[in-house]
Amino acid sequence: MTDAAALRRRTREFLSAHPPADTGRLDFLRARFDAGLAWVHFPEGLGGLGLPRSLQAVVDAELEAAGAPDNDPRRIGIGLGMAAPTILQYGTQEQKRRFLKPLWTGEEVWCQLFSEPGAGSDLAALGTRAVREGEHWVVNGQKVWTSSAHLARWAILIARTDPDVPKHRGITYFVCDMTDPGVEVRPLRQITGEAEFNEVFLTGVRVPDAHRLGEVGDGWRVAQTTLNNERVAIGGMRLPREGGMIGPVSKTWRERPELRTHDLHQRLLKLWVEAEVARLTGERLRQQLVAGQPGPEGAGMKLAFARLNQEISGLEVELRGEEGLLYDDWTMRRPELVDFTGRDAGYRYLRSKGNSIEGGTSEVLLNIVAERVLGLPAEPRTDKDVAWKDLAR
Amino acid sequence: MSDLLYSEEEEALRAAVRDLLADHCDAAGVIARTESDAPHDSSLWKTLADGMGLAGLLVPEDRGGQGATHREAAVVLEELGRAVAPVPYLTSAVVATEALLACRDGDDLLAELASGRGIGVLAVGLHTAPGAAFATVRAADGALHGELTGIADAAVAGVLLVPADDGGLYAVRADAVTVLPQVSLDLTRPVARVVLDGAPGRRLGDTETAVHRALRAGAGLLASEQLGLADWSLTETVRHLKDRTQFNRPVGGFQALKHRLAQLWLETVSLRAAARGAADALAAGEDADVAVAVAQAYAAPVAVRAAEEALQLHGGIGMTWEHPVHLHLKRAKADSIAYGTAGAHREALAELVDLRAP
**Is the Cβ of A81 closer than 8 Å to some Cβ of chain B?**
no
- Examine the fold and report which residue of B117, B144, B174 is the final residue of a domain before the chain moves on: B117
Query: Of B149, B175, B206, at which residue does a domain stop?
Result: B206
- Cα-atom radius of gyration of chain A, to the nearest Å? 23
Same domain, B213 and B339: yes
In chain A, which among 353-372 make CB contacts under 8 A with chain B?
363, 365-367, 369-371
| B44 and B109, same domain (yes or no) | yes
| Residue where a domain terminates, one of B99, B117, B135 | B117
The model carries a pTM of 0.92
Q: What is the CATH number of the domain that holds B296?
A: 1.20.140.10
Decide: A332 and A193 in contact? Cβ < 8 Å: yes
pLDDT higher than 80, residue B63: yes
Per-residue DSSP letter, B315: G
Q: Is residue B34 part of a domain?
A: yes
pLDDT at B310 over 70: yes
Specify if B2 maps to a domain.
no
Mean pLDDT of chain B: 97
Decide if B182 is inside a domain. Answer: yes
Q: How far apart are CA B296 and CA B290, in angstroms?
A: 10
Who among A254, A274, A378 is closest to B354 (CB)?
A: A254
Is the pLDDT confidence value at A235 over 90?
A: no
Is residue A230 very low, low, confident or very high in pLDDT (cuts 50, 70, 90)? low
- Please give the share of chain A, as a percent, with pLDDT higher than 90: 83
Contacts of A226 (CB under 8 A, 6+ apart): A82, A83, A85, A86, A112, A114, A156
Asked if A362 and A303 count as a contact pair (C-beta separation under 8 A), the reply is yes
Q: Does B306 map to a domain?
A: yes
- Are B195 and B286 part of one and the same domain? no
Predicted confidence (pLDDT) per residue in A116-136, tens digit:
999 999 999 999 999 999 999
Work out whether strand A136-147 and strand A129-133 pair parallel, antiparallel, or are unpaired: antiparallel
Name which of B236, B270, B349, B356 to mutate to probe chain A: the one with the most chain A Cβ atoms within 10 A of its Cβ. B270
Q: What is the pLDDT of residue B1?
A: 67
B40 and B171 both lie in a single domain: no
**pLDDT tens readout for residues A37-87:** 999 999 999 999 999 888 998 999 999 999 999 999 989 999 999 999 999
- Over residues B197-223, mean pLDDT: 98
At the topology level, CATH places domain A79-217 in Butyryl-CoA Dehydrogenase, subunit A; domain 2 (2.40.110)
Residue B171, domain CATH: 2.40.110.10
Cβ-Cβ contacts under 8 Å for B224 (sequence gap 6 or more)? B74, B75, B77, B78, B81, B275, B278, B279
* Range in A174-178, A199-203, A293-297, B88-92 with the lowest mean pLDDT: A293-297
Contact B1, A282 (CB under 8 A): no
B246 belongs to a structural domain: yes
- Taking the CB of residue A24, how many other CB atoms lie within 10 A of it? 11
CA dist B93 and B17 (Å) reads 15
Complex confidence, ipTM: 0.96
Note whether residue B357 is domain-resident: no
For residues B117 and B177, give the distance between their C-alpha atoms in angstroms, rounded to a whole number: 20
Q: What is the pLDDT of residue B255?
A: 97
pLDDT per residue as tens digits for the range A164-199: 999 999 999 999 999 999 999 999 999 999 999 999
Report yes or no on B358 lying in a domain: no
B240 with B344, same domain: the answer is yes
Task: Kindly list the residues from chain A whose CB atom is less than 8 angstroms away from the CB atom of residue B353.
Answer: 250, 272
Residue A193 is which amino acid?
Answer: G
* Catalytic residue list contains A230: yes
**A342: pLDDT confidence band, cut at 50, 70 and 90?**
confident
Distance from CA of B294 to the nearest CA of A (A): 6
pLDDT at B283 over 50: yes
C-alpha torsion sign, points A116, A118, A120, A123: negative
Of the candidates B13, B150, B26, which has an alpha carbon nearest to the alpha carbon of residue B83? B26
Helices (H), B25-136: 27-34, 42-46, 70-83, 97-101, 107-115
Query: Using the beta-carbon criterion (under 8 Å), do A300 and B269 form an inter-chain contact?
Result: yes
The CATH number assigned to the domain holding B62 equals 1.10.540.10
B46/B60 same-domain check: yes
Q: Which residues contact A196 (CB under 8 A, 6 or more apart)?
A: A147, A190, A334, A335, A338
Do B254 and B149 lie in one domain? The reply is no
Q: What is the pLDDT of residue B232?
A: 98
Looking at the structure, tell me whether residues B279 and B347 fall in a common domain. yes
pLDDT band, very low/low/confident/very high, at A236 (cuts 50, 70, 90): low
Report the SS3 class of residue B172.
strand
Which chain B residue has its CA at the smallest distance from A257's CA? B358
Question: B190 and B136 share a domain?
Answer: yes
CA distance B282 to A66: 37
Contacting residues for B54 by C-beta, under 8 A, at least 6 apart: B17, B48, B66, B73, B76, B89, B93
Compute the average pLDDT of residues B325-350: 98
Q: Tell me the three state secondary structure of residue B211.
A: helix
Domain ranges of chain A: 3-70, 79-217, 236-360
Locate the chain A residue with the closest alpha carbon to B243: A376
CB contact under 8 A, B262 and A366: yes
**In sequence order, what are the residues at sequence separation of 6 or more whose Cβ sits closer than 8 angstroms to the Cβ of residue A124?**
A167, A168, A171, A220
pLDDT tens string B145-194: 999 999 999 999 999 999 999 999 999 999 999 999 999 999 999 999 99
Residue type, A310: Q
Answer whether residue A375 shows pLDDT above 90.
Answer: yes
Q: Are B252 and A376 inside 8 Å of each other by CB?
A: yes
A286 interfacial to chain B (CB closer than 8 Å): no
Find the CB nearest A280 among B261, B277, B354.
B277
User: Does residue B331 share a domain with residue B269?
Assistant: yes
- Rama region for B150: left / alpha / beta (φ>0; ψ in -120 to 50; rest): left
Q: Are B271 and A261 within 8 A, CB to CB? A: no
B157 and B84 fall within a common domain? no
Say if residues A274 and A266 touch (Cβ distance below 8 Å). no
Q: How many CA atoms lie within 13 A of A179 on its CB side?
A: 3
Q: Give the domain extent around B140.
A: 122-206
Q: What is the mean pLDDT of residues A349-366?
A: 93
Q: What is the pLDDT of residues A238-296, one digit of tens each?
A: 789 999 999 999 999 999 999 999 999 999 999 999 999 999 999 998 888 878 777 77
Task: Test B255 with A379 for CB contact under 8 angstroms.
Answer: yes
Three-class secondary structure of residue B171 per DSSP:
strand
